[in-house]
Amino acid sequence: MKTGVSLPDDLFGQVTACAREQGVTRSAWIARAAAEQVRRQQEDQVTEAVNRAVAAESPASRAERESIAAEARGRMESLAEGEDW
């Protein structure tokens, strides 16, 4: 997909320099940076789900804990897709 973004001049210059140092286009560098940010956010969501599961203490919330744990497992599996382990 092709899209346009607005960046402050100084950030644009930094992106250009980083891309040049790595031998990739600005577009490729920005795509990698965006993918990394998405991965980090997904990892944070897994951590939050695990923390909610651990924090749920009452017997009535067992189903909720199991649901949260299943959600965390699913997110972890999606993060691991395409990874060599």
Q: Closest Cα to residue 65, out of 56, 73, 76?
A: 56
Cβ 69 vs Cβ 53: under 8 Å = yes
31 found inside a domain = yes
Cβ 65 vs Cβ 56: under 8 Å = yes
User: Total domain count for the chain?
Assistant: 1
25 found inside a domain = yes
* Residue range(s) defining the domain that contains residue 74: 9-79
Question: Residue 2, SS3?
Answer: coil
20 found inside a domain = yes
Task: Look up the pTM and report it.
Answer: 0.59
Non-local CB neighbours of 43 within 8 Å, separated by 6+ positions:
79
14 found inside a domain = yes
73 found inside a domain = yes
4 found inside a domain = no
Q: pLDDT tens, position by position, for the chain (85 residues)?
A: 888 989 999 999 999 999 999 999 999 999 999 999 998 888 888 888 877 777 766 555 677 778 888 888 888 888 777 666 5
Query: What's residue 70's pLDDT?
Result: 86
